[in-house]
Amino acid sequence: MKQGLLIDMDGVIYSGEELIFGADKFIKHLLDHDIPFAFMTNNSQRTSLEVVRKLSRFGITVESKHIYTSAMATGKFLGDQSPNGTAYVLGEGGLLTSLHENGITLVDTDPEFVVLGEGRNFTLEMVQRAVDMILAGAKFITTNRDPSPKKPGWNNLGIAATTAMIEEATGRKAFVTGKPSPVMMRSARKFLGLETAETTVVGDTMETDIQGGVQMGYKTILVLSGISNKDQLSHYAFKPDMIVGSVDKIEFPLKWW
C-alpha cells in the first residue's frame, strides 16, 4: 500500500520569514523516496505557482503538483455544485484563478455565490455590496475561518474577522470550504490520489489540521513548532496519533506504515 502526507506550511515548514529547522531536509527525504505529498494551506491568496516560488525562497524545491490550497478546494467544490455558476469574489489571485479554472464566472451583479478569501484589495463598499447580494439570496462561502493573528504588524487582518463582519451584517452563516472542512480534507487526499487509510496529515494547529484529519479518519501528526502548546492539548476531545517537536523529528517509516 502506498502512503502519503498532507502537510501544512505555516508553523510546520516556516514561521514568518524563517525556515523551521530541518523542514528542507524533511521535504528532500519525501522527494528522494518518492513518498507522495502535498502542502495543504488554507491561505487562498496565492496561486500554486506563487506558493512554489515562496517555498523556493526557503530552499525547498517543489512543483505545482505538490500544492493544494483552500482556493483550489473552493473552486473545485463550486464547480461541482454548480457547473457554469457565478460568483462575486472578495479575494485575490489564487481564488480568482481557481474559480475561473473550474468554470465559475466572476460577476458584479446577481451572483449565485459570494466567495470570501484572504485579501487586502477589497473595500468596505465591496463588502457592503456582498452583504446586499447575500441578503438578496446569494450563497455565502468563505475559504476558511483561520483566526486573526492578533499581532501588530501582521501581514493580514485574519479571514475570521472579515467572515464575522459579513455574518453579522447578513445574519447568515458562511459555508467553510478550507481546513478543517471535509470539502478540503477530502479533495486534498484525492488530489494526491490516496485512499483514506493511506493518508497522514502533518500540521501545527489542532482546530484545523488535526481536527480535519481525525474527522476524515486519516492519521495525524502534530508538530509543536507552530501555534499549538503541549499543555493545552488535554482540552481537546480528540488527539493526534503522534506529537513531535518539529518535522525534523519525524522518523521514516512512520510507525503505522
Strands across the sheet containing 67-69: 67-69, 37-41, 4-7, 199-203, 219-223, 242-244
Buried b / exposed e across 168-206, counting CB within 10 Å, b at 16+? eebebebebbbbbbebbbbbbbebbebeeebbbbbbbbb
Q: Which of 10, 146, 204, 209 is catalytic?
A: 10
94 forms part of the interface with Mg ion (CB under 5 A):
no
Site string for Mg ion, 22-61 (x = CB under 5 A): ----------------------------------------
118 forms part of the interface with Mg ion (CB under 5 A):
no
Min CB(205)–Mg ion separation in Å = 5
Q: Where are the alpha helices (DSSP H) in the chain?
A: 23-32, 48-57, 70-81, 93-101, 124-135, 159-170, 182-192, 211-216
Give 224's DSSP letter.
T
Closer residue to Mg ion, CB minimum distance, 10 or 24: 10
Site string for Mg ion, 216-255 (x = CB under 5 A): ----------------------------------------
Residues in 177-206 at the binding interface with Mg ion, rule: CB under 5 A: 204-205
8 forms part of the interface with Mg ion (CB under 5 A):
yes
Closer residue to Mg ion, CB minimum distance, 98 or 205: 205
Min CB(41)–Mg ion separation in Å = 8
11 forms part of the interface with Mg ion (CB under 5 A):
yes
Min CB(223)–Mg ion separation in Å = 9
Q: Is 10 an annotated catalytic residue?
A: yes
Q: Facing residues of 18 across strands?
A: 15
Min CB(84)–Mg ion separation in Å = 34
Q: Are 46 and 54 in contact (CB under 8 A)?
A: yes
Min CB(203)–Mg ion separation in Å = 6
Q: Beta strands 67-69 and 86-90: pairing type?
A: unpaired
User: CB neighbours of 218 closer than 8 A, spacing ≥ 6?
Assistant: 6, 185, 189, 196, 199, 200, 201
Q: Which residue is nearest to Mg ion (CB)?
A: 11
Q: Binding segment for Mg ion among 10-18, 75-83, 174-182, 242-250 (CB under 5 A)?
A: 10-18
146 forms part of the interface with Mg ion (CB under 5 A):
no
Q: Binding segment for Mg ion among 2-10, 66-74, 175-183, 241-249 (CB under 5 A)?
A: 2-10
Distance between CA 50 and CA 57 in Å, rounded? Answer: 11
What are the CA-CA distances from residue 240 to residues 160, 221, 234 (Å)? 24, 6, 11
Grid cell listed for 204: 501545527
| Count of residues interacting with Mg ion (CB under 5 A) | 5
Grid cell listed for 86: 457565478
- The catalytic residue positions are 8, 10
Binding site for Mg ion (CB under 5 A): 8, 10-11, 204-205
